[in-house]
Chain A
Amino acid sequence: MENLPWLSIITFAPLVGVFFILLIRDDDKEIVARNARWVALWISLITFFVSLGIWINFDNSTANFQFVEKTVWMPGFKIGYHMGVDGISMFFVILSTMLTVLCIGASWITITDRVKEYMIAFLVLETLMVGMFSALDLILFYVFFEGVLIPMFIIIGVWGGARRNYAAYKLFLFTLTGSVLMLLAILAMMFQAGTAEIPKLLTHDFPATLQPWLWLAFFASFAVKMPMWPVHTWLPDAHVEAPTAGSVILAGVLLKFGGYGFLRFSLPMFPLASADFTPLIYTLSIIAVIYTSLVALAQEDMKKLIAYSSVAHMGFVTIGTFAANTQGIEGAIIQMLSHGVVSAALFLIVGVVYDRIHSRDIDAYDGLVHRMPKYALFFMVFMMASVGLPGTSGFVGEFLILVGAFKANTWVAAFATTGIILGVAYMLYLYRRVIFGEMTKENLKSILDLNRREVAIFAPLLLVVFVMGIYPSLFLDAMHASVENLVERYQSALAAAQHISVVAK
């Protein structure tokens, strides 16, 4: 088992599925669609279960990369095919594989047009996401990081809503602007350090004068992906126009690219610049938390509301990350995982009624609890997880982040904590308008409650929410070594720099 190329299997298994789907040919569109669905489902399920293997075989005691695979790819440029995961990235791999399964399940009957291509897009997306989180070579990372945009662009542009073109282009415009700068920085790093291997770069000390530029270039890309205020405006549009499963992946996994990037690159590779820019991050994050929460309060579209709440939640993540202590960073990771599950669930929740009534307007609904009690229950649980009720996953992340932030800067903690008030306000207000009250609208009177397929999709998400909330050690234990290592490296780099400047004086 030890020598199995786990990560390559997980990364490329979906492509095998793509191959099989491509083979499906029949004159009857229905048969093609059905076969494509089943192949996609099986492949994604297998991938998911295999990916659990890396968790089971994961060694909690070391901060080193595990399941490492390394072969030369472009030797002339010192670029290799290099994969591996540590305590920071491991869970994101599993998050990606899990959400892909649920996405395929959620699209089972709602997608009737070009089903084959749709399934292919999702499987390719899965490959790219898993590859992104396990790439240990800068160029390989970049390929996966940017490659994700292509299937996402297609998913929104082809299966999206009315304004899908606008949304797809906006997504591209924002993200590409950032990534051009990141590519330049990557090249600069390779020239400076003479290697593209991430493990080596992690121990390389970049010159203090170069760090701010590299940091800013990476920041441009990660801030858009995160998204941080003020480059967040692509997100609501993308979410609104994307099909449900597209939103799930977008909120569940793609938004984590930025946070993961900060943890993998900015903080450990450019510690001095990170320390210098921390006030900037804090400011933007606090604005994100308060500003977008208020904006969420005023939304009339369910998906937009949840999209804005995502921005607020990601504001917590950046605060925790740049608090740069154990609690802050572990909280940030937990918050990202939790948000991955909870926001995915909330988008699926919206998708359920959208499938039935074909409207995302909050005003189009009222009193759903009368006809859909099961739906109301699931919605309630995920809403509570979203507002960080203790006992759910949302609490653990938020709590750890705020503890970490309080240690680093009390003002930041205080401002960020106002988010727990505003979060409750917009979520409960949404819930009340959609679920409670009398059912007055005629077209709702025959709406059906969740069917078995839908319950089967929500049940695992519910389970994760509670397990992560009640016994988070299951997750935290695997992170400790890597996070401690990151914090130590960060602190010692700062201490060393301080030492030099003291000596210079």
Chain B
Amino acid sequence: MYIAAVFLPLIGSLIAGMIAFVAQGAVRAEDTERKKRLDLASQLITCGAMLLASVAAILVFIAVVVNGQNGTVELFTWVDSGSLEFSWELRGDTLAVLMVTMVTVVSSMIHIYSIGYMSHDGSIPRFMGYMGLFSFFMLMLVSANNLVQLFFGWEGVGLCSYLLIGFWYDRPSANAAAIKAFVVNRIGDFGFALGIFACFFLFDSVSYDTIFSEAAAKSTATMNVFSGEFHALTIICLLLFLGAMGKSAQLGLHVWLPDAMEGPTPVSALIHAATMVTAGVFMVARMSPLFEYSDVALTVVTLIGASTAIFAATVGCVQNDIKRVIAYSTVSQLGYMFFALGVSAYSAGMFHLITHAFFKALLFLGAGSVIHAMSDEQDMRKMGGLYKLIPATYVLMWIGSLALAGIWPFSGFFSKDIILEAAWGAHTGIGQYAFWLGITAAFLTAFYSWRLIIMTFHGESRADEKTLAHVHESPKVMILPLVVLALGALFVGILSVDYFVGEHTVEFWKNSIFVLDTHKALENAHHVPIWVKFLPLVVGIGGIALAYLMYMFAPELPKALASGFQRTYQFLLNKWYFDELYDKIFVKPAFYLGRGFWKAGDGLLIDGVGPDGVAAAVQHLARRAAAMQSGYLYHYAFAMLLGVAFLVTWFLVAGA
């Protein structure tokens, strides 16, 4: 069953890939009928495979979480070299199975949605194939039972993300964004890979079971790395976290995610909101038995998470591209998840991961529905007044935004609340830092969410006639998955809060998450002052109110603010100038150095002194020698005489 859940998407994807090539032939033969049939076949196969996979995943979930079975499946040995040995395996504990279920369910909804959204596209089988392949890699990632298989999925989703961001490969911006995503992710993977090596160095194993069971024994071990003696687990955790930062777009390595919006919207929903970008959060939770023993690493995680939450929220407030607003909101929410992990409230972070998957996928797909209606317009400044024209989308976007802003009783309320309370409950300085930044970010989150809703759906329409005439509600095949996700956004939180972080939390997670007894943030979260409990809700409502004030009732206000605080506005609009900075200190110098090494290093220095230099020297000498062969007898006679004179002198001197 578990194998089916993981491998069905792969099979579907491979078939879709083959269909893509057949369809290419149909296009060339200008056989539109056949092309349509092939498109439909690819859609049915991939969606069918995904749906079957989610049924299988739910069955596994019931078996493992409800009935308490151990669902681990070993397939076959992958690498065996000396003491390094690991297999292809599917791990069957709550954390893995929960993620498998979430991924398959959300993914199948998005697969179905794509049928409608991509209906005008020319490469449907290819798209469906990529999506299926992505789901497979994501499932391998979450179901891994060793660090290397995790890395397999980790890199695989990166590849699919690259392929899907650059799906419309005619667009230079899409290609640039795709490369950027892959390269920035690889910077994170650099740390991740070193983390795996360090893990093997310390534990002589990369399998979870061994690592986790020996972590306690090695909790004080030190490791001689990078010319110093360091606390081993801190080194490992920090390196692994670098990988998480890349994949989950945390401050510093976040630059790829907003650009990734170049991809089709279902991609943004699936990969850049619900699943792949949360892989970093999942990985840290997975590695909780290691992170728990390193206070330094946990502090860093909290610091980065909280800073990202506030950074992305500030940027989200001024963006005008509807997808970019949601993208920054994703970065910001990932920040929340990380600082939850950082204060040892892993289950709270995972809880937010799951609820976020539903409401953020909903928001993205809702935005997709808007874009679809607006003939591919993404700039909110050219929207407005759409609520009468696309009412279903409007309602769904409200649900998603309410969940995102953390309004009771929507899912986001429960998960965001527990995270902020846990940050408070950590009773540490860094916990306080996270709490206050989190509260501020929550205010901004509500503000930009309603800014988005008002700019898109209310006020005078700013679109041109032609676009407006085309505005239409999306077909059922797009709305239905949205309804399912909306149900998730409505009910997942309230129904499962007790299992994730409430009274049933121990039975639910079993041993899949490890927390030291001394780390009581989550426990304390249930006993915080009443104002801490209500503050997130209050600021959320405050943010909504401010958005109404600024964009509904006093539309001149934002403009006045923007021109009044030009510097700040530009700073935010340009995303704190991260892209410009990186371009200056990394990208440009790399090309400059490359050219320099090539022309000066290889060309002038090595070849100039080496082969070319030697060849030139030989030629030069030969020419000189050749010049001596003048052909005149007296030249030779003179040379001979000189030689004789020299020899005679030599013998005389030496003999004497």
Contacts and interface: CB of A to CB of B under 8 A. Distances in A.
Interface in A200-242: 230-231, 233-234, 236
Interface residues of B, number: 58
B201 A406 contact: yes
A491 to B, nearest CB: 13
A387 to B, nearest CB: 8
Contact of B79 (A396, A402, A484): A396
Interface string A173-187: 110000000000000
Contacts of A414: 194, 226
A101 B486 CA distance: 59
A112 interface: no
A477 B80 contact: yes
Contacts of B178: 428, 432
Contact of A296 (B81, B152, B594): B594
A484 B81 CA distance: 10
B155 interface: yes
A234 to B, nearest CB: 7
Interface stretch (B98-106, B165-173, B441-449, B452-460): B165-173
Contacts of A295: 594, 597-598, 601-602
B183 A403 contact: no
Given A233-B607, A399-B79, 9 more contacts: A295-B602, A331-B81, A406-B197, A414-B194, A424-B183, A471-B78, A472-B78, A473-B77, A476-B80
A68 B515 CA distance: 60
Interface string B191-202: 001101110110
A325 B82 contact: yes
B240 to A, nearest CB: 14
Contact of A326 (B20, B81, B183, B610): B81
A417 B187 CA distance: 10
Contacts of A400: 79, 81, 84
B646 interface: no
Q: List 5 A-B pairs, minimum CB-CB distance, nearest first.
A: A326-B82, A298-B594, A406-B197, A390-B152, A294-B594
Secondary structure of the B contact surface, majority rule: helix
Contacts of B155: 389-390, 395
A438 B172 CA distance: 9
Interface in B159-194: 159, 162, 166, 169-170, 172, 175, 178-179, 182-183, 186-187, 189-190, 193-194
A389 B156 contact: yes
Nearest to A298: B594
B227 interface: yes
Contacts of B77: 471, 473
Given A174-B611, A472-B79, A476-B79, A403 B200 contact: yes
A457 B571 CA distance: 54
Nearest to A439: B170
Interface string A138-182: 000000000000000000000000000000011001100000000
A374 to B, nearest CB: 7
B183 A425 contact: yes
A391 B186 CA distance: 16
A252 to B, nearest CB: 23
A154 B264 CA distance: 52
A420 to B, nearest CB: 6
Interface in A450-505: 470-473, 476-477, 480, 484
A395 B158 CA distance: 15
27 contacts: A169-B615, A173-B611, A173-B614, A230-B610, A233-B611, A291-B601, A294-B594, A295-B601, A299-B598, A327-B81, A327-B84, A330-B81, A330-B82, A369-B169, A373-B20, A373-B24, A384-B159, A389-B156, A390-B156, A403-B84, A406-B194, A420-B186, A424-B186, A432-B178, A470-B88, A473-B80, A484-B82
Contacts of A230: 606, 610
Contact of B21 (A231, A373, A395, A410): A373
A101 B593 CA distance: 40
Contacts of B593: 294
A390 B172 CA distance: 28
B194 A428 contact: no
A188 interface: no
A367 B152 CA distance: 30
Nearest to B180: A428
A428 B226 contact: no
B237 interface: no
A63 B528 CA distance: 67
A400 B82 CA distance: 10
B76 interface: yes
Given A233-B607, A369-B169, A403-B84, A413 B194 contact: yes
Nearest to B153: A390
B249 to A, nearest CB: 17
Nearest to B184: A421
B11 to A, nearest CB: 16
Nearest to B185: A424
B148 interface: yes
A484 B80 CA distance: 13
A420 B190 contact: yes
B272 to A, nearest CB: 18
B218 to A, nearest CB: 17
Nearest to B188: A421
B424 to A, nearest CB: 38
A352 B185 CA distance: 31
A258 to B, nearest CB: 18
Given A295-B594, A389-B155, A234 B611 contact: yes
B591 interface: yes
A360 interface: no
B595 interface: yes
Contacts of A331: 81
A410 B81 contact: no
Contacts of A298: 591, 594-595, 597-598
Contact of A390 (B148, B187, B590): B148
Nearest to B206: A403
B225 interface: yes
Contacts of A294: 590, 593-594, 597
